[in-house]
């Protein structure tokens, strides 16, 4: 089965058709810039543009930077607050003319890693972290997703964890890898005490530099880099559309 996967990010929107049995992209992905302010209708129009570029007429799965309940965006982080309370499934379906299903973006990345990447065959509790503009979290137990886990907003040293330990924080404060690893380690130790996971999968753009910070962590749980890299959000969004269909 083929589903168009879309990954909506704070700076770019990426998409490609996905073979959901193999996890492979069926065409080179298309990327467009996220519209300024990332408000609902302009973002939906950008998704429509990607769908039309592939002459797409089938289902579309969309990874989105917000908790999603019944197709409705429950909060807004790194996108316009105008999304809060919007039935995003219905909006994207109306504008694209295709059946659209939304899923939290970290959940999408986690679904891809559990199906085709570093989490494949892992039977215990797995926590996926996406380190980018913020910190996305996805939690799996025996392969089943606990949706909309927003532990990037866990308080660490009096601030949201993502304000201190995201890749954006590392760049903003020009942290050395050693100092960054120390901050990330503190957040991951908190997650260990809450969930006692069997594996951490670390994704997001920073995962390409994993050898510079993962070996510096002193957590007890094994931590491995994501394998799907920049395809994870697209593939996972397509998988989510299949699971809801």
Domain-by-domain residue ranges, the chain? 2-104+231-244, 118-227
pTM: 0.93
Res. 245: pLDDT tops 60: no
Contact (Cβ atoms closer than 8 angstroms) between residue 32 and residue 44: no
Report pLDDT for 169.
95
Q: How far apart are CA 240 and CA 245, in angstroms?
A: 9
Report pLDDT for 119.
96
**How would DSSP label each residue in 119-153?**
TTT--SEEEEEEESSSEEEEEEETTEEETT--GGG
Contact (Cβ atoms closer than 8 angstroms) between residue 38 and residue 62: no
Q: How far apart are CA 76 and CA 213, in angstroms?
A: 29
Q: What's the 3-state SS for 53-110?
A: HCCCCCCEEEEECCCEECCEECCCCCCCHHHCCCEHHHHHHHHHCCCEEEEEHHHHHH
Q: What percent of the chain has pLDDT over 90?
A: 90
230 CB neighbour count, 10 Å cutoff:
16
The pLDDT confidence band at residue 243, using thresholds 50, 70 and 90, is: low
Within this chain, domains 2-104+231-244 and 118-227 share the same CATH topology: yes
Place of tokens 């901050």: 183
Q: How far apart are CA 168 and CA 133, in angstroms?
A: 5
**Superfamily per CATH, domain 2-104+231-244:** ATPase, nucleotide binding domain (3.30.420.40)
Q: 165-207, pLDDT tens digit by residue?
A: 999 999 999 999 999 999 999 999 999 999 999 999 999 889 9
CATH number attached to the domain at 118-227 = 3.30.420.40
- 159-163 mean pLDDT: 93
At CA 63, angle to CA 23 and CA 99, rounded to 5?
85
């Amino acid at each position: 089965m083929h589903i168009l996967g879309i990954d909506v990010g704070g700076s770019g929107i990426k998409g490609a058709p996905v073979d959901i049995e193999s996890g492979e992209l069926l065409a080179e992905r298309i990327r467009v810039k996220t519209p300024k302010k990332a408000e609902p209708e302009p973002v939906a129009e950008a998704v429509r543009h990607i769908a039309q570029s592939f002459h797409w007429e089938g289902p579309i799965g969309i990874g989105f930077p917000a908790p999603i309940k019944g197709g409705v965006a429950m909060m807004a982080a790194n996108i316009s607050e105008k999304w809060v309370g919007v039935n995003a499934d219905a909006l994207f379906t109306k504008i694209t003319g295709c059946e659209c299903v939304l899923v939290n973006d970290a959940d999408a990345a986690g679904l891809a890693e559990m199906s085709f990447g570093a989490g494949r065959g892992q039977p215990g509790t797995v926590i996926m972290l996406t380190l980018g503009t913020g910190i996305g979290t996805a939690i799996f137990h025996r392969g089943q997703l606990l949706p909309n886990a927003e532990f990037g907003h866990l308080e660490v040293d009096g601030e949201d964890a993502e304000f201190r330990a995201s890749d954006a924080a590392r760049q903003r404060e020009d942290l050395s890898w050693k100092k960054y690893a120390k901050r990330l380690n503190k957040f991951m130790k908190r997650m260990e005490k809450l969930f006692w996971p069997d594996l951490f999968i670390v994704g997001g753009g920073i995962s390409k530099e994993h050898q510079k910070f993962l070996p510096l962590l002193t957590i007890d749980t094994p931590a491995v880099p994501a394998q799907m890299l920049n395809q994870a959000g697209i593939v996972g969004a397509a998988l989510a559309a299949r699971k809801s269909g």
